[in-house]
Amino acid sequence: MDIQLTEEQELLRGSLQRLLRDRYDFDARRKIVATDEGWSRKHWSAFAELGLCAAPFQESSGGLGGGPLATMIVMREFGRNLVVEPFLETVVLAGGLIEDVGSQAQHDAFLPQIMAGESIWALAWAEGCSRYDFNNVATTARRQSEVYVLNGTKATVIGAPWADKLIVSARTSGEPRDRSGVSLFVVDRQSANLHLQSFKTIDGRRAAEITLMNVQVPASQLLGTEGEGVAALEACRDRAIAALCAEAVGAMSELNSVTLEYAKTRKQFGVALGTFQVLQHRMVDMFIALEEAISLTQHLNLSLATGEPHGSKLASGAKSKVGYAARFIAEQAIQLHGGMGMSDELNVGHYFKRIASINVQFGDPTYHLMRYARS
């Protein structure tokens, strides 16, 4: 049950920790976020050189065969350091979808570039009225001989302004809420008649509203079986949740340690904050919340790695429980830092914002609680 890392996994974690310590401290991250682009291609290349982009893929796909556990290791460190580069979007979401449902030709065309860190991807599944359901798709894809013609608007697509390629969900048949009839397409971000309206997200990333007006996509760019995109997206979401939980755990552990440190040094009424029992007990509850989140995240990733049944139900359970725990820790970390916690200078607020963002991505804790309860 407890994950004892293999030598390879230890190596991955150790080298990533060193890289982030040397080149991705809070100051460096602040500078990256403040650039026009909002991310760093240089750092992305460094990640790729370490093998991160190839780590989770199967060896038969040309990857390192690390699976969900490799993703977990990477995401936890990214969570600690608030890394903004689109590892989740490119490797976990797009790479995972292509590996899972893509054709051999699509594997050959896309995976080597992703693994080499040479192409950036984003997943455009949400729409203005979709909330968190993959079947709520109003965007249409109409087959016209050798092309599909896409029309519609995709919402809050994280990383789209950085992306070379998009995976877009669109309806090839059925009504806007039907489960069947949703298909996935690989679309060039530079396609004619595809418009991006970019914006900054609360956690320092970039996202876009995407409008598709008669965008022509070659039929060969249909990803997976026509009409069965919802199932592919659901499996993709399980992997995304496992990764996001690990990222949240990384952020939570940093928040707990900076808060604890602050409580030991900051003095009020002539004594350290940490001497007040009410604050001690709060921090104990933060400690417990983190321990439980670590356990559940490991359990989920191990279950996905071994292909346990009920993995999807467990993913929703973990998204909910870890989400509530992360929100509790993030809110209390600000509270215990007092006025300082409100300052943009301090990293605390930035972890808070990343956690708030994680809690929205792919469904909030309440949404997944009900999904867990009903499945």
Partner 1 sequence: MELSLSREDAAFRDEVRAFIAENYPHEMRVPNPETDLTKDQMLLWHRILHKKGWIAPLWPKEYGGPGWSITRRFIFEQETSRAGTLPPLAFSVTMVGPVIYTFGNEAQKKKFLPRILSGKDWWCQGYSEPGSGSDLASVRTKAVRDGDHYIVNGHKTWTTLAQHADWIFCLVRTDPAAKAQAGISFLLIDMKSPGVTVRPIITIDGSHEVNDVFLEDVRVPAENLIGEENKGWSYAKFLLGNERTSMASIGRSTRYLNRLKQIVKSEISADDPAFSEFIREIARVELDVLALEATELRIVAQMSRGIEPGPVASLFKIRGTEIFQRITDLTHQAIGNYGLAIREHPISANHFMPGPDYGHTASEKYMNSRKLSIYGGSNEIQRNIIAKAVLGL
**Where do contacts with partner 1 occur on this chain (CB under 8 A)?**
1-2, 4, 260, 263-264, 274-275, 277, 280-281, 283-285, 287-288, 291-296, 298-299, 317, 320-321, 369-370, 372-374
Q: Nearest 5 degrees, angle CA 169-CA 175-CA 180? A: 60
Q: How far is the CB of 263 from partner 1 (least distance, A)?
A: 7
Tell me whether residue 186 or residue 283 sits nearer to partner 1 (CB atom): 283
Tell me whether residue 23 or residue 299 sits nearer to partner 1 (CB atom): 299
3-state secondary structure 140-159: EEEEECCEEEEEEEEEEEEC
Tell me whether residue 42 or residue 374 sits nearer to partner 1 (CB atom): 374
DSSP element (H, E) containing 326: helix 311-337
- SS3 percent helix, strand, coil of the chain, rounded to 5, is 55, 15, 25
Q: How far is the CB of 317 from partner 1 (least distance, A)?
A: 5
Under DSSP, the state recorded for 179 is S
Tell me whether residue 19 or residue 273 sits nearer to partner 1 (CB atom): 273
Tell me whether residue 120 or residue 246 sits nearer to partner 1 (CB atom): 246
The Cα–Cα gap between 358 and 158 comes to: 12
Tell me whether residue 202 or residue 373 sits nearer to partner 1 (CB atom): 373
Please give the sequence-ordered ranges of beta strands (E in DSSP) within 129-272, or none if there are none.
140-144, 147-158, 165-171, 182-188, 194-200, 206-218, 222-223, 267-268, 271-272
Q: How far is the CB of 8 from partner 1 (least distance, A)?
A: 19
CB 144 within 8 A of CB 153: no
What is the SS3 assignment for 130? coil
The Cα–Cα gap between 123 and 227 comes to: 17
Q: How far is the CB of 278 from partner 1 (least distance, A)?
A: 10
The Cα–Cα gap between 45 and 48 comes to: 5
What is the SS3 assignment for 122? strand
Q: How far is the CB of 237 from partner 1 (least distance, A)?
A: 18
Tell me whether residue 214 or residue 366 sits nearer to partner 1 (CB atom): 366
Q: How far is the CB of 3 from partner 1 (least distance, A)?
A: 8
Tell me whether residue 19 or residue 255 sits nearer to partner 1 (CB atom): 255
Tokens of 182: 């949703």
The Cα–Cα gap between 375 and 372 comes to: 5
Q: How far is the CB of 271 from partner 1 (least distance, A)?
A: 12
Q: How far is the CB of 301 from partner 1 (least distance, A)?
A: 11
- Nearest by Cα to 213 from 170, 275, 247: 170
Tell me whether residue 180 or residue 275 sits nearer to partner 1 (CB atom): 275
Inter-helix orientation angle 277-305/67-81, to 10°: 150
The Cα–Cα gap between 212 and 152 comes to: 5
Q: How far is the CB of 241 from partner 1 (least distance, A)?
A: 14
